[in-house]
Structure 1
Amino acid sequence: MPITATPPKITEVGALIRPSLMCMATESDTSLTLVSFGALSPEDCNKLLVATTPTIRRVSTAVPTLTYAERRPSEPVRTLLTRDYLGFAQPPGTSDRWLATPTPTATVIVNTGGAFGGYPRAFATGLTDTHDVIEQVGAIECVDLKLTPLGAYTLLGVPMDELTGRVVDLADVLGPAGHRLTERLANTAGWDARFAVLDEFLLRRAEEGPTPAREVAWAWRRLVESCGVLSIGELAHEVGWSRRHLVTRFRQQVGLPPKTVARIVRFDGLLRRVGTAGRAAWSRIATECGYYDQAHMNRDFREFAGTTPTAFLARLPERMAERMAAEVTSVQYTWVPAG
């Protein structure tokens, strides 16, 4: 990263996404942000050379030092992802355990260090309709991509229902190209250079990959825009397909049936608003998110989070709930500590 004469100040280290991973609000035109967190005072943090950041007032000292870097992808790759490129590293001795709820995103992880968690060194996952407990133990250094399902369909070049609820070696998805990408990223020093390698690779995949059916892309966009409240009958009518044909093609290119995806979109939107809810406001929030009533919402909590709304809210780290309700563009997880 180039060193500037007057490094910009850090605005705020708040936005707890996990107790051990803090997310910093950055300006939208920032090309790369590199940050270290740990047992540092605000003064120490402001000595860090970081790209385009505003004055730390608060900093957590209860977490090990972690780093992450971000860079904006080139067009048209950017439209296929749900966030910027993210590089993440945590030191040895770190151990975290998280409840992960379903989200309308696919994931690609490429470790630039060793593999972790018993997973392949590089892997892809599709959508899932179940919650899971994720464990991160020991040293980790990786590139973490979050893709829209249709973006994953294009960039990975496989039917997305083949990845549903699975963790698949990237070499099995991309063939030799997956192995070459993994080795090249691991042998490239520095996040900026790694992101350049990744961007070049994904630009080529975007040009060569399959294009989703126009009708499926329309149905996906409508579900997201409506926060999952449109009926499948309405979608089928809008695209001019039978309900059965829409479900078949949508599942193939997105990974799950449209009705299930609608529920996940709605539930994910609900979790991003829990910070403004409070226990007394669950009925109102449920209605605003498209649930018939609080009982309807409670059923989705049991299925997608394995717990109740009140228990979920109680697990959130301090200040995380309120930040989940705000627009956070760097790290987008709605995970909470596993019980």
Structure 2
Amino acid sequence: MEYVGIVPAPPLDRFIDDIYCLTGVPRHRLMNVPPMPSAHLFLHHGGPVRLWDSDRSVPPALMTDGWFMGVWTRRFLFAYPPRVRLVGVHFKPWGMSPFAGLPAAELRNRWAPLDAVWQRSADRIRNRIGDAASAAEALRVVEEELRSHLAVAPARGLDLVRHTGGWLETSHGTVAVRALADAAGVSGNHLAGLFKDHVGVTPKRMARIYRFARLIVSVDALRPVDWSGLAQTAGYFDHAHFSREFKDFTGHTPTEYLALRRRFPAERRDPQDLGPMPAD
């Protein structure tokens, strides 16, 4: 598939990593997605997209227009239609908060139709995207929509979460949560409460996801992989814990994951796109 993406101009870049457009025929229809340090907005112009939670007690969903997804702490699966035209937004973990207008915990490990979050917006936005003459124009449409929904004033605690979340991002999750709270001048419980409001998960859980993302990005499937060395660099100092978390997050052992990556190399080199794996 063809990828076209932009980093939005300020102030959106405080909350969004990129806005992108995917078009074409997918190499793989069914994808397995581990937890990654982002939340999402998807707007789809192709056939319906099916989503499954790895928690089998959660019923699957069929999405036909647009939907929001919060930060995930476990893997999920989705199935592309035969032909894809999708516009998406990679929010930073705290980035959906000033646009969605609801506690981030309500979208943790969940998806919600666009109209349930932005009332009666899906048809209008999809029509504007459909009228766009190019992918670049479609991205400008979405950027305008995001600007129109950005809260004028940040909600209580968002600036603090953005600052400490940025520290987690740059340290790849290796900074101690206690150090985050001390640097912010708040208690650990207070910081955790703010993260639940604006990210949907605690700083400790977010650190785990950043740590895992760093490890995945470090894997070069074309060369021999020193899993112990990569795990230690990423901040895993207990090999048994690393193995359990890797299997929980991907559904594979490290050896199985490496074999899969060698069969189906990732097309891009960033956490959002190195994470998803073929599941068909």
The answer on 1:173 being equivalent to 2:80 is: no
Structure 1 residue corresponding to 2:14, chosen from 79, 101, 104? 79
Q: 3-state SS of the aligned residue for 1:234? A: helix
Root-mean-square deviation (Å): 2.6
- Match of 1:332? 273
Structure 1 residue corresponding to 2:86, chosen from 142, 150, 158? 142
Q: Greater RCO between the two (CA within 8 Å, min separation 6)?
A: 2
- Match of 1:310? 255
Q: TM-score, normalised by structure 2?
A: 0.85
- Match of 1:62? none
The answer on 1:104 being equivalent to 2:37 is: yes
- Match of 2:178? 233
> Please, which runs of 5 or more residues in structure 2 have no aligned partner?
51-61
Give the drift of 1:170: 0.8
Go from structure 1 to structure 2 and tell me whether the alpha carbon gap of 1:70 and 1:280 turns closer, same or farther (over 3 Å shift).
closer
Amino acid at match of 2:21: G
The answer on 1:262 being equivalent to 2:207 is: yes
Q: Distance in 1 between matches of 2:108 and 2:153?
A: 19
Q: TM-score, normalised by structure 1?
A: 0.71
Q: 3-state SS of the aligned residue for 1:82? A: strand
Do the aligned residues in 1 keep the contact of 2:177 with 2:203 (CA within 8 Å)? yes
Q: Could you give the per-residue CA deviations for residues 195-229 of structure 1, whole angstroms, max 9, x where no partner exists? A: 22222222233353644533222221121122112
Q: 3-state SS of the aligned residue for 1:269? A: helix
> Please, which runs of 5 or more residues in structure 1 have no aligned partner?
1-65
Go from structure 1 to structure 2 and tell me whether the alpha carbon gap of 1:209 and 1:86 turns closer, same or farther (over 3 Å shift).
farther
Q: Distance in 1 between matches of 2:161 and 2:148?
A: 23
Structure 2 residue corresponding to 1:274, chosen from 203, 219, 234? 219
Q: Distance in 2 between matches of 1:201 and 1:209?
A: 17
Do the aligned residues in 2 keep the contact of 1:98 with 1:135 (CA within 8 Å)? yes
Do the aligned residues in 1 keep the contact of 2:45 with 2:85 (CA within 8 Å)? yes
Do the aligned residues in 2 keep the contact of 1:101 with 1:334 (CA within 8 Å)? yes
Do the aligned residues in 2 keep the contact of 1:282 with 1:294 (CA within 8 Å)? no
Q: Distance in 2 between matches of 1:182 and 1:294?
A: 47
**What is the aligned residue count?**
268
Amino acid at match of 2:44: N
Q: Distance in 2 between matches of 1:234 and 1:295?
A: 26
Q: Distance in 1 between matches of 2:192 and 2:222?
A: 34
Q: Distance in 2 between matches of 1:77 and 1:246?
A: 24
Structure 2 residue corresponding to 1:208, chosen from 152, 164, 169? 152
Go from structure 1 to structure 2 and tell me whether the alpha carbon gap of 1:237 and 1:280 turns closer, same or farther (over 3 Å shift).
same
Go from structure 1 to structure 2 and tell me whether the alpha carbon gap of 1:285 and 1:95 turns closer, same or farther (over 3 Å shift).
closer
Do the aligned residues in 2 keep the contact of 1:153 with 1:210 (CA within 8 Å)? no
Q: Distance in 1 between matches of 2:182 and 2:270?
A: 35
Larger radius of gyration: 1
Identity value in percent: 25
Go from structure 1 to structure 2 and tell me whether the alpha carbon gap of 1:216 and 1:78 turns closer, same or farther (over 3 Å shift).
closer
Structure 2 residue corresponding to 1:156, chosen from 100, 103, 120? 100
The answer on 1:89 being equivalent to 2:89 is: no
Go from structure 1 to structure 2 and tell me whether the alpha carbon gap of 1:296 and 1:279 turns closer, same or farther (over 3 Å shift).
farther
Q: 3-state SS of the aligned residue for 1:123? A: strand
